[in-house]
Amino acid sequence: MTEQELEQLARRRAGAKLGFYIHVLIFVLVMAGLTLLNYLTSPKPWSLAPFLGWGFGLAMHCFSVFGRGRLDTSRDRLGRAELEQLKRRG
């Protein structure tokens, strides 16, 4: 990979991580508000449903950001190996 491609990849990964951290912050703030509202208004734990639903989405977001890094690394490694093989063939 060229220096420019590596820089673009690094920026894309950093942006994805920042987006995930913002998602976590919003999740925590909203869930705290919903839990407080639930505690003040109802004896039934209705705030558990949005917590589980959004929590699943947050888990998928986490996997897409941090799980993908390993896949990108493998793909990059395979791409470099293919490039080297093509260069050797001339």
Cα separation, 20 vs 61, in Å, equals 7
Q: Which domain holds residue 11?
A: 3-89
pLDDT value at residue 38: 97
Cα separation, 13 vs 66, in Å, equals 9
pLDDT value at residue 90: 66
pTM over 0.75: no
- DSSP assignments along the chain, one per residue: --HHHHHHHHHHHHHHHHHHHHHHHHHHHHHHHHHHHHHHH-SS-TTHHHHHHHHHHHHHHHIIIIIHHHHHHHHHHHHHHHHHHHHHH-
pLDDT value at residue 86: 79
Count structural domains, the chain: 1
- State the 10-residue block means of pLDDT for the chain, 90 residues long: 82 92 98 97 95 96 80 66 78
Cα separation, 45 vs 62, in Å, equals 26
- Helix 3-41 and helix 68-89: axis angle, to 10°? 170
